[in-house]
Structure 1
Amino acid sequence: MAAKDRTGPLKTIVRIADAVNRSYASRAQTEASLQADDMRTVLADIAVIAFIGPSGTGKSTRASAIAQKHQIDYLIDDGLLIRGNRIIAGTSAKKANSRLESVRQALFVDETRAANVRRALIEHHPTTLMILGTSDGMLEKICRNLWLNPPSMLIRIEDVSTDEEMRLAKQTRMTEGRHTIPVPSMEIKHEFSGYFADPISRLRRRWERERGVAAVHPEQERTVVRPTFSALGSYSISDEAMRMMIAIALRKIPGVAALDQFAADNEVYGVILHLDLALIYGYNAQQVLSEVQRRISQIVEDYTSINVISVNVKARRVIHAGAQK
């Protein structure tokens, strides 16, 4: 009987605790629902303009010019929310490991990615947003996943590009596997560390500038990249090739005698270079090492488009100028 007396109050306490937990859970659910409703209200104020065209027809190349023409500061392209020349939120679908994952990222199927972009849209609260897509259905899915209204204006690629321009864009996509992102190289470099970004063209333009040759047309603020899942293969460089390139570059830096040791650590967002050097006696070692860091970082990025996180330099030995090999 005593046991029953003890279990009776215990059961009552358990029931009360369960009721309290249910009350808190219900309240939290209600607050979350109210918060979602508030977010939907804010997002509903954004006017959406759709820019539609088949894959590889030059939408991203044209995006900046069209946005400027219609005074649109914000656009969404392949999973990225872009304001002017800067990436505000999102992860590029071109960085995905497979075509399927690329499509999922472009459509914001993942709730975490979608919520991240929704928060950014609420924070910046643009009056107008241009979304790039390959079809009407794709635009509908993006708007639904981001809680946006359906597009109020539709622009098709054939309205702003000639047949020849679209043909050339498709040929580049098919033969070279290159994609365009409407932001500058410096901004996209963090997102695409280690991927091909047309370094030869950039070197040619820099050479022309040094010779005083002006560009025929001002360069659009965009970057050409090759996605991870490209059927044309990945872009890579061996440690030995990197070492040889750095050793050649070091020959042009006063005060450096030789590259004794070299190592490269591959990180998520780029590489960390480690250089052990032999310096020439009589030079200011601190100034020489500082110049090595600056020049090597610039040269590696210019020639390979690999994002250099840092260049760690160390003076291992000092030799007289006459003792150089």
Structure 2
Amino acid sequence: MEIYSLSGASGTGKSTSALQFAHDHQIRAIIDDGLLIIDGEKVAGTSAKFEKSALRAVRRAIFDDESHRTEVLNALHKYEIPSILLIGTSTNMTKKIAERLGLGDIAHYYQVEDIRSAKDIQRARFVREIQGQHLMPVPFRQVEQNFFKRFIQRGMDIFAPNRVKIGETTLVRPDFHQQSITIAKSVYMDIVKHVVEADPHVTRIQHLQCVVNQVPRISFGIYLGAPVNYSLPEQILALQQAIADSFFVHFQMEPEQIDIYVFGIETKAHAH
């Protein structure tokens, strides 16, 4: 069996990228947080996210429990998988998983930074650390609802470039992740207003909207002051960057999207 390792710190989005990574490398099987996932479906194991403490979650993820280990081993023998992706917080952890499951040596090592952009990792950390959300690369219907009394919702469908569906994700908030913060949409909007109103070229802002799924998406319109003796594209880009920078200062992440529409040009006297 050809073994791949994908490692990175907690909350950097390894599980989010796992299905796409496995598809790109023609890997049918994934071991993630104690689950054996084949072709995007959970076939064996119990998720570490069901545990009550972080220590028990780690022990579950490295197959410390003998009955859990045996269940996954039996499934691996049954499916006769030619290659597998092991996911862990470090290469030591993925080596431990390979050892516990008797898989042999790992042939390919990847870090999450190899397959995700810095911005994607930033957003993943925000979702994990601020909102307390963890992602499982298995369909919503396969996640035992009774384990998560506080939070469980559908994630997203993962598609290949040819639009063939390769898997689904589910968002959960495990019991061992006790702290989470809810940031009101108005907080995001106040930051945008503050940045825009400080821009000397903008006379007013209109139709400010903020859509928050996990990371906010911002859209609004502006009127610019006359005369326009500056580059319009450069001015809009600078405003987008100023908003992104302000979000990073406050939340250590940038919005998913910042759409700015220029409604018109006006003299300061006509601004209201």
Aligned counterpart in structure 1 of residue 178 of structure 2, from 209, 226, 231: 231
Match of 1:96 in 2: 51
Counterparts in 2 of 1:144 and 1:191: CA distance versus 1, 3 Å: farther
Percent of residue pairs bearing the same amino acid type: 36
Aligned counterpart in structure 1 of residue 35 of structure 2, from 42, 62, 80: 80
**1:190: how far off?**
5.1
What is the aligned length? Answer: 173
For 2:59 and 2:146, the matched residues in 1 are separated by 18
CA contact (8 A) 2:41 2:167 kept: no
CA contact (8 A) 1:181 1:222 kept: yes
Task: Give the 5 Å matches for 1:145-224.
Answer: 145-189=100-144, 192=147, 194-198=149-153, 221-224=168-171
Match of 1:322 in 2: none
Structure-1-length-normalised TM-score: 0.50
For 1:192 and 1:132, the matched residues in 2 are separated by 22
Amino acid at match of 2:168: E
Amino acid at match of 2:40: N
Structure showing the higher helix proportion among its residues: 1
**1:150: how far off?**
1.9
CA contact (8 A) 2:40 2:167 kept: no
- Please identify the structure whose Cα radius of gyration is greater: 1
For 1:130 and 1:195, the matched residues in 2 are separated by 30
CA contact (8 A) 1:52 1:133 kept: yes
Give ranges in structure 1 of 5+ residues lacking alignment. Answer: 1-45, 206-217, 234-325
For 1:190 and 1:143, the matched residues in 2 are separated by 29
Q: Indicate the SS of the match to 2:99.
A: helix
Match of 2:194 in 1: none
Structure showing the higher strand proportion among its residues: 2
Amino acid at match of 1:54: A
CA contact (8 A) 2:86 2:94 kept: yes
Give ranges in structure 2 of 5+ residues lacking alignment. Answer: 158-164, 181-272
Q: Indicate the SS of the match to 1:61.
A: helix
**RMSD of the TM alignment (CA)?**
2.2
For 2:15 and 2:148, the matched residues in 1 are separated by 20
Aligned counterpart in structure 1 of residue 8 of structure 2, from 40, 53, 67: 53
CA contact (8 A) 1:92 1:191 kept: no
For 2:10 and 2:171, the matched residues in 1 are separated by 15
Match of 1:302 in 2: none
Q: Is residue 121 of structure 2 the alignment partner of residue 121 of structure 1?
A: no
Q: Indicate the SS of the match to 1:176.
A: coil
For 1:94 and 1:100, the matched residues in 2 are separated by 11
For 1:107 and 1:191, the matched residues in 2 are separated by 24
CA contact (8 A) 1:81 1:117 kept: yes
Structure-2-length-normalised TM-score: 0.59
CA contact (8 A) 2:23 2:166 kept: no
**1:198: how far off?**
3.1
